[in-house]
Amino acid sequence: MEEKVLQNIRDAIMNGDRAAVVALTKAALEEGISLKDVMDKALIAGMEIVGGKFKRNEIFIPEVLISAKAMQEGMALLEPHFTKHGIKPVGRVLIGTVKGDLHDIGKNIVSMMLKGACFEIEDLGIDVSPQRFIDAAKAKEVDVIAMSSLLTTSMGAMKDTINALKESGIRHKVKVLVGGAPVTQDFASAIGADGYAKDAAGAVDKARELLRK
Ligand code: B12
């Protein structure tokens, strides 16, 4: 039964059927299926199937966008369950997708999970230049700068941002956390980031660990 509901959500994402994704996600939560399963086995898994089809040229950008929108509407229903209100933030995180990159689904999930773990989040959005990260970090003290990249061609912007932080004299004041599908621990170490995590749950653990350092 549970698997059937999760399967239906995956299908609805593949079909880009927003109304069905919303209705089925609500139903899954009402049935008591865990938030983690709804997120990992239905919403993210549905988007992974879309990703596979996109890679094989079976579908194209407009279809991917429609599916992404449907997936994000489902994700929005989970957010209130993750976010705790009225609790003192454990740290402040500035997050953004790096320059040249417009992918934000993964970044938004990381953002949501960090909020749920009581981090205060400032989300700079997509295509964020090194200077914008620096201006925002200077405007309000932050503990962690979290950067997302989904393109091999935009990964270099993470290094540019770290170099720009050094040049502006604030590198020692912030921890840098990086992630996104093409990013690896080796890459993170090579560019001098303080931490890497492969998924949103790992991002929360890593951010907590960086605050203790
Ligand atoms: C959706 C999508 C799009 C959508 C984006 C919509 C949106 N609002 O984000 C659209 C259609 C706009 C798009 C455009 C393009 N895309 Co695209 N896209 C994808 C797709 C199908 C899914 C990405 C996704 O959302 N995954 C689901 C999320 C949940 O996963 P995630 O992002 O990896 O995030 C998780 C982790 O990586 C991690 N994480 C993410 N960020 C961070 C940050 C931190 C700090 C941490 C710790 C962790 C972390 O946690 C997340 C949650 O667990 C992927 C294929 C794929 N399988 O990845 C291609 C893909 C990324 N796209 C690709 C390409 C080539 C493009 C285009 C260049 C296509 C074109 N010809 O125009 C453009 C580029 C536009 C640009 N300048 O950015 C390639 C990239 C290839 C490469 N190696 O560089 C991929 C891999 C598809 C492919 N195989 O060819 N795309």
CATH number at residue 34: 1.10.1240.10
pLDDT band at 165 (very low <50, low <70, confident <90, very high): very high
Q: How far is the CA of 102 from the centre of ligand 1 (A)?
A: 8
Of residues 177, 181, 213, 211, the one with CA closest to residue 192: 177
Ligand 1 atom closest to Cα of residue 150: 61
* Claim to verify: residue 95 and residue 159 sit in the same structural domain: yes
Mutate to test the pocket of ligand 1, among 39, 75, 103, 162 (most ligand atoms within 8 A of CB): 103
What's the confidence (pLDDT) of residue 209? 97
Residue 43: C-alpha distances to residues 8, 29, 69, 117, 137 (Å): 10, 13, 11, 20, 32
Single pTM value for the model? 0.91
What's the confidence (pLDDT) of residue 85? 61
Using CA of residue 111, residue 114, residue 118, residue 123, what is the dihedral sign?
A: negative
Mutate to test the pocket of ligand 1, among 148, 150, 154, 187 (most ligand atoms within 8 A of CB): 150
Which of 64, 82, 100 is where one domain is finished?
82
* Claim to verify: residue 151 and residue 96 sit in the same structural domain: yes
Range of the domain at 54: 2-82
Tens digits of residue pLDDT in 110-132: 998 898 888 999 999 999 999 99
* Claim to verify: residue 78 and residue 136 sit in the same structural domain: no
What's the confidence (pLDDT) of residue 118? 87
* Claim to verify: residue 100 and residue 205 sit in the same structural domain: yes
pLDDT band at 82 (very low <50, low <70, confident <90, very high): confident
